Structure 1
Amino acid sequence: MTDQRYNILIIGNLHSHPSSQVFLQKFSGLVHQFAHELYIIGGDYVQQTSNVHQLCPYKRFSKFDIYHFVVSQIVTLIYILKNLKEFKKIDIVIVLGNAILIAGLFKIMKKPIILYRGGSPYLALQSRLKKRLYYIFVEKCLLELANVIVVESNASIEFQKLEGYRDKVIVLSQYVEDVFFNKIFKKSKTLAYIGSFTYIKGVDILINAFGCLVPKLKKMGFKFIFYGDGEYKEEIKKYAEQYKIVISTEKWIPHSVLPRVFETLGFIILPSRGEGIPNIVLEGMASCVVPIATAVGGIVEILEDQVNGYIVMNLDEKTLCHTILDAISTDPKSLLKMRYNGYKKVFSEFRVEAAIHRYKKLFNIVSNVKTQK
């Protein structure tokens, strides 16, 4: 617990999604340590308590589109203006998503704004034009509004094009719950992808790599499991039906069940096009699962190739296939050492106590911004 307490508003994702909900639950649990009253606006659910209040004045939606993006914010703005007396009590605003209109209102109210950027939202858009428009009209505006911009790694500053905002940027990583720390040095022949089946996560490249992977996995007695949902779901199902011996699919895993799932895995794959420091990789390392991930964002700051995991240097199907095959062909003694190195890395740097200490510094900085207005 901490001494200084604030009335904090978190503006989360406007739409609901299983992965962002897990993040919001973890993040709000951390921020709650510093809150007198904690308010959360967004489509994802969190557990409410006597001083944790969830507000969703619009009808929840599960897929992002321009109509819902605008309407949900207008409805929320009307709600805030009707209850302006209560919202004037807010000390600090934290923006997790892209609610530019809501953030703008609190800027007009002269509230200090923390913009949290775990990844680059506009990278999820496949169209170059859409990326450009999103960056100009949403992302850049949010960057200008923010008093402080939080990223998860030093590498994310360049990756997310934040060089022009270095004076605002603070590097703060997330944490791994104690339940994930499990020194079971397993010899499982199961690989898994856990998360959204989306373009930003590189799932299309993983699918294309199966032509190279499947014969080798089958020959060596390995299995590959997809846990999650998303735009590539049908393609994955097609491959799973074609290669039943090797590939299978499962639904989203409740976060509470994830530690038990990790106990059954040998390797976790993340062929992402954009990341901060991905929780799924940290949680896997804490559970002694060997990660195989692309060299994007903060991944290069937590993984050392063939020391505590494997780094996919180029995101193409050939490189991904060869890296996975190199990993599963590694001798057991070397894999055992990698598992321990990964566990040790996360245990020493990403436990909740360290995160609380880092966020205490953040809120002290933001509190000074508020005082100096």
Structure 2
Amino acid sequence: MLRNDMTLSLFFTRNISLEIWLKAGLFDREKTIYEQYLKRDYIKEIYWFTYGSHDLEIAQGLYQLNRLNKKIIIVSKPKIFFGKIGNLIYSFLMPVLHAKFIKRTSFIKTNQFDGSWSAIIAAKLFKKRLIMRAGYILSQLNDKAINHNKIKSIIYKIIERSACKNADHIIVSSEHNKKYLIDLYHIQPNRITTVYNYIDISLFNSKNSDRYKDRLLFVGRLSPEKNLLNLVKALEGMTLTLDIYGEGSLKDSLYQLGSQLHVDINFMGSIPNAKMPDVYNKYKFFILPSIHEGMPKVLLESMACGCICIGTNVGGISELIQNEKTGYLIQGTSETDIRKTLEKIMKSDIKLDEMAILSTMKNHSVETIIEKEYKILKSIV
């Protein structure tokens, strides 16, 4: 058992702020585990080191609305640092500028590898325990990207190697990410733990409502790795509508391709995560045709809400979907592969294993995840 006067510092991903979390609809989901730490008296106080110059004022409003626990203290960026260059400079100076908070902290934790050097500097300067958490692996994503950048790959691997070397413990969100880091950086297996992404199963659950049977739901970024252009091509001539929740660089391209191929696509924009259960419960089918994934939260959320989930057989997705048991795996990422699976599903009498789905959800509940993280904290005291 940890002393109940322990404190935790969370270093946000570089360039990410509380304001961005709110605008992207991620705030309610991201804060959950930290408020649970406080609720259970595992941690006395939490400091969030963000890249927003106005985050402190934003937090005051959230406190007044009871949307954020007052024991989560926002350490915001000084206004003198602006733009991406300013953020980069700030990332190196952050530990010195906010030394009074770091001195009071018991543990330092990162949100991703990007910006992790701030946490490393803080831990070294003030002799604090460091947990390196990564929901995705920068070099792995870059190496799998269509437009692979060799210079970025070198930089990412330098960042990751330093992070893994200096961490007291490393947390990743999937088994394939764990294997990747162990193999590439020769990490001792007892220094790295898979802690899956969590969902609030009291919020994300099936309401057994009437659902669209002739529509596919996609939720996420409209970016190349999500493979949405091939999905649209696969839908040509099929009587399925594609409803997309999310924003991204491919929106115009998807709109043009949909018009050209006469595929019915509805762009629904982004909405707060707390409102997504109602969305998921409107659909029978959810699809995630990605070229690669970490541990997709949207797949967990849709499965918990009773959707029949369809995803490509790639890392992350294949850790969640057992083919024809908890969902359907597409054996490839091409438009032909996607169409073949969709046609099979539309013709079949679908009977998934509800007990297997419930077991998957239990493994990803907030309660399960926080106990795993707390065990790690206790192990490095």
Return the alpha-carbon distance in structure 1 between the equivalents of residues 229 and 46 of structure 2: 42
2:203 match: secondary structure:
helix
Q: 1:26 maps to which residue? A: 32
Overall identity of the aligned pairs, in %: 19
The CA deviation at 1:213 is: 1.6
Letter in 2 for 1:225: D
Aligned to 1:320: 338
Alpha-carbon distance, 1:306 to partner: 0.8
CA distance in 1, matches of 2:115, 2:32: 20
Do residues 6 (structure 1) and 26 (structure 2) align? Answer: no
- Per-residue CA deviations over 1:323-361 (Å, capped at 9, x if unaligned) read 233223322xx24x35x3564234432222222322221
2:366 paired residue number: 352
In structure 1, what is the equivalent of residue 190 of structure 2?
167
C-alpha offsets along residues 142-164 of structure 1, whole Å, 9 cap, x if unaligned? 12221111122323222456562
Structure 2 CA distance for aligned equivalents of residues 61 and 296 of structure 1: 40
Deviation at 1:15? 2.4
Equivalence for 1:101 = 117
Instruction: Give the direction of change, closer, same or farther, for the CA distance of 1:75–1:117 in structure 2 (3 Å limit).
Output: closer
Deviates more, 1:83-92 or 1:22-31: 22-31
Q: In the superposition, relative to structure 1, how do residues 258 and 244 fare at CA in structure 2: closer, same or farther (>3 Å)?
A: farther
Q: 1:123: Cα distance to partner?
A: 4.0
Q: Match of 2:90?
A: 75
CA distance in 2, matches of 1:180, 1:2: 31
d(CA) in 2 for partners of 1:295, 1:107: 39
In 2: Cα distance, 1:324 partner to 1:228 partner: 22
Question: 1:273·1:294 contact (CA, 8 Å) conserved in 2?
Answer: yes
Q: Choose from 43, 50, 62 the match for 1:35.
A: 43
Q: How far apart are the structure 2 equivalents of 1:82 and 1:265? A: 49
Question: TM-score, normalized by length of structure 1?
Answer: 0.83
Distance 2:182 2:339 in 1: 29
TM-superposed deviation, 1:58: 4.8
Check if 1:211 corresponds to 2:211. Answer: no
**CA shift digits 1:252-292 (9 cap, x unpaired):** 12111100001111111112233332211111111100111
Give unmatched runs, 5+ long, in structure 2: 63-67
- Give the distance between the partners of 2:36 and 2:260, measured in 1 at CA: 44
Q: Could you tell me which residue of structure 2 aligns to residue 121 of structure 1?
A: 138
Equivalent residue, structure 2, for 1:370: none
Shift of 1:77: 4.4
Q: Deviations over 1:89-128 (max 9, x none)?
A: 1111111121133123123222111111222223444323
1:108 to 1:3, Cα distance in 2 relative to 1, 3 A = closer
Q: Write the distance in 1 (CA, Å) between the matches of 2:292 and 2:128.
A: 30
Decide whether aligned partners of structure 1 residues 59 and 250 sit closer, same or farther in structure 2, where only a CA change above 3 A counts. farther
Do the aligned partners of residues 4 and 297 (structure 1) sit closer, same or farther apart at CA in structure 2, a change above 3 Å counting?
Answer: farther
What letter matches 1:37 in structure 2?
A: E
Change beyond 3 A, Cα 1:295–1:2: farther
Q: Secondary structure at the match of 1:13?
A: coil
Distance in 2 (alpha carbons) for counterparts of 1:84 and 1:300: 43
Q: Where does 1:207-246 land on structure 2 (aligned, <5 Å)?
A: 207-216=229-238, 218=239, 222-242=240-260, 246=264
Task: Verify: 1:87 aligned to 2:102, yes or no.
Answer: yes
- Gaps spanning 5+ residues in structure 1: where? 368-373
Summarize the Cα distance change of 1:129–1:361 in structure 2 as closer, same or farther, 3 Å threshold: same
Alignment of 1:291-370 (within 5 A): 291-331=309-349, 334-335=350-351, 337-338=352-353, 340-341=354-355, 343-367=357-381
For the Cα contact (< 8 Å) 1:288–1:342, is it kept in 2?
Answer: no
SS at match of 1:35: coil
* CA 253–246 in structure 1, closer or farther in 2 if over 3 Å, else same: same
Shift of 1:315: 2.4
| SS in structure 2 of the partner of residue 119 of structure 1 | coil
For residues 99 and 363 of structure 2, what CA distance do their matches in structure 1 show?
41
Question: In structure 1, what is the Cα distance between the partners aligned to 2:25 and 2:315?
Answer: 18
Counterpart residue number, 2:65? none
RMSD over aligned CA atoms reads 3.0
Larger deviation: 222-231 or 178-187?
178-187
Contact 1:94 1:116 in 2 (8 A): yes
- Structure 2 vs 1, CA of residues 188 and 197 (structure 1 numbering), >3 Å: closer, same or farther? same
